[in-house]
């Protein structure tokens, strides 16, 4: 496994493989790797000849009051996980190189980023879309793998790639969960034991929403009311937003038809968690 730090070395690695007709799958991450990332790596392994994982805690996507300094970092462990998973190259760029002092360009996706995560975390998606564009330009992967866990982010990246005519195919993979349903997240390690228990309320609310829909409920108002009530009943949880949306436009819907996504974010103590569930009706 190659560990690559400079942009130049990364483009050289990628160009060399492309000359030999080798396809590259990229898994962009912020490190602190867990089984969710591992599932993306395995999907990349199956679909592409060579796999690159990028590990970069992108300062641009954290607000001034957010947890950039606290964000978990575990590079030696991450490298071992990548090695075990048969990753070919780990790209660990340095912020000083990606964002040189004269840097002043931003890539922004408009409407899709003005709601949900974008409202709660101003500037967040601008950081995400800018760094993803840079990573795709540097690595030039045939495919890049993203998790459904960050549903809005994946849809935003799909939009970006289509709008800018980038040649990478974006692949969305399902959310990996703990046995009790909590979506794996690098931030779960911030939860105290009591908060960890309380955090299962996110998935429970999503399941309750799905059950209502399966039982025939089509009014989003009623579905949201039932889900909100469940979250409010958990004293350690504070709901940030809850929305029932169209899977690609992310517009809120009033009645459930076809496929919808239940999206939510909640604070559990000082930790902000997000989750979602895709529900289809006939
Ligand atoms: P992060 O390191 O949190 O920026 O995440 C890197 C990638 O892993 C993103 O595409 C996430 O959506 C994805 N990811 C994070 N958690 C999970 C999970 N529990 N299941 C599947 N994918 C995930």
Structure confidence by residue, pLDDT tens digits, 144-170:
999 999 999 999 999 999 999 999 999
Q: Is the pLDDT of residue 282 over 90?
A: no
Does the beta carbon of 56 lie inside 6 Å of ligand 1?
no
Q: Can you tell me the distance from the alpha carbon of 171 to that of 166, in angstroms, rounded to the nearest whole number?
A: 14
pTM of structure: 0.98
Q: Which of 26, 31, 33, 36 to mutate to test the pocket of ligand 1 (most atoms within 8 A of CB)?
A: 36
Q: Name the residue with the closest Cα to ligand 1, atom 10.
A: 146
Average model confidence (pLDDT) across the chain: 98
Task: Please write down the long-range contacts of 76-81, taking CB distance under 8 Å and 24 or more positions apart.
Answer: 77/33, 78/31, 78/32, 78/33, 79/1, 79/3, 81/33, 81/37, 81/38
Query: How many Å lie between the centroid of ligand 1 and the Cα of residue 6?
Result: 24
Query: How many Å lie between the centroid of ligand 1 and the Cα of residue 150?
Result: 7
Could you tell me the maximum CA-CA distance found in the chain, to the nearest angstrom? 58
How do residues 50-69 score in pLDDT, each as one tens digit? 999 999 999 999 999 999 99
Query: How many Å lie between the centroid of ligand 1 and the Cα of residue 215?
Result: 31
């Amino acid at each position: 496994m190659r560990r690559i730090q400079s942009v130049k070395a990364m483009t050289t690695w990628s160009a060399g493989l492309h000359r030999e007709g080798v396809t590259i799958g990229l898994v962009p991450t912020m490190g602190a790797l867990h089984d969710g990332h591992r599932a993306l790596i395995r999907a990349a392994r199956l679909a592409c000849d060579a796999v690159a994982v990028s590990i970069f805690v992108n300062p641009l996507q954290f607000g001034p009051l957010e947890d950039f300094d606290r964000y978990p970092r575990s590079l030696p462990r991450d490298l071992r996980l990548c090695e075990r998973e048969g990753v070919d190259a780990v790209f660990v760029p340095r912020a000083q190189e990606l964002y040189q002092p004269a840097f002043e360009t931003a890539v922004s996706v408009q409407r899709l980023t003005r709601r949900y995560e974008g409202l709660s975390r101003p500037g967040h998606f601008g950081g995400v879309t800018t760094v993803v564009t840079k990573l795709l330009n540097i690595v030039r992967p045939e495919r890049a793998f993203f998790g459904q866990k960050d549903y809005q982010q994946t849809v935003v990246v799909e939009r970006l790639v289509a709008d800018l005519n980038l040649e990478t195919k974006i692949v969305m993979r399902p959310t990996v969960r703990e046995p009790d349903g909590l979506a794996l997240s690098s931030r779960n390690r911030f939860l105290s034991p009591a908060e960890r228990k309380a955090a299962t309320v996110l998935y429970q609310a999503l399941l309750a929403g799905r059950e209502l829909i399966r039982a025939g409920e089509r009014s989003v108002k009623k579905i949201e009311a039932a889900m909100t009530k469940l979250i409010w009943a958990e004293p350690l949880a504070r709901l940030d937003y809850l929305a029932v949306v169209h899977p690609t436009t992310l517009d809120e819907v009033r009645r459930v038809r076809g496929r919808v996504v239940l999206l939510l974010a909640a604070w559990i103590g000082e930790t902000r968690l997000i989750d979602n569930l895709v529900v289809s009706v006939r």
